[in-house]
Amino acid sequence: MNLFNKNYPVRALLNLLAYLYGRGAVEKITGRLEVEYNKWGRMKNVYIDGKLAFVLRNNDGYLLPTAHGAVYMTRRVVISSEVVEYIRGGRNVPAKYVIDITPEARPNGEVAVVNPSGELVAVGRLIYSARELTLGRGYAVKVRAVSSGEPPPES
């Protein structure tokens, strides 16, 4: 493996994204990837088509999706349409309003929160497993960023 190949950082980034968010998320990325590095040469931010899509969490090296990066995620939580404006206000997602959850979503993993029509509402960390969500108590997703209503990319 040639570490000085220009394509190596992009391939490594795509492999990291596939590991964190699944191969389906990487297959949705069709735009131009740009990586911003810090002064030590480590990955800091990832841009897709000039928009900030992922940021690096310093303590563990995890790439966190922004509202633009969440449209590429396959791990989704579908919420009731009656709480969409509540969630867009920056609130967390109550478990009793979760309609559906994708099977690959894991507790303490990042998920995209979408309305029943598939429009992105927010992105955040899933608190409970799908089995625990059936209880309908507590908060299901701790919201980190809200979306302005950007349409998802064509699959």
Task: Output the domain CATH number for residue 47.
Answer: 3.10.450.90
Q: Can you spell out the DSSP letters for 41-99?
A: S-EEEEEETTEEEEEE-TTT-PEEE-TTGGGG-S-EEEE-GGGHHHHHTTPPEEGGGEE
Provide the pLDDT for residue 8: 56
Asked whether residue 15 carries a pLDDT value surpassing 70, the answer given is: yes
111 with 98, same domain: the answer is: yes
Asked whether the whole model's pTM tops 0.75, one would answer: yes
Provide the pLDDT for residue 1: 39
- 1 lies in a domain? no
- Asked whether 112 and 70 are in contact (CB, 8 A), the reply is yes
Task: Kindly report the average pLDDT of the chain as a whole number.
Answer: 85
Residue 31, domain extent: 8-70
Closest CA to 143 of 61, 78, 88: 88
Q: Which pLDDT band, with edges at 50, 70 and 90, does 2 fall under? A: very low
| pLDDT, tens digit, 9 for 90 and up, residues 75-114 | 999 999 999 999 999 899 999 999 999 998 899 999 999 9
- 25 lies in a domain? yes
- 110 lies in a domain? yes
- 151 lies in a domain? no
User: What mean pLDDT comes out for the span 123-137?
Assistant: 88
User: What mean pLDDT comes out for the span 52-74?
Assistant: 89
- 155 lies in a domain? no
Provide the pLDDT for residue 155: 46
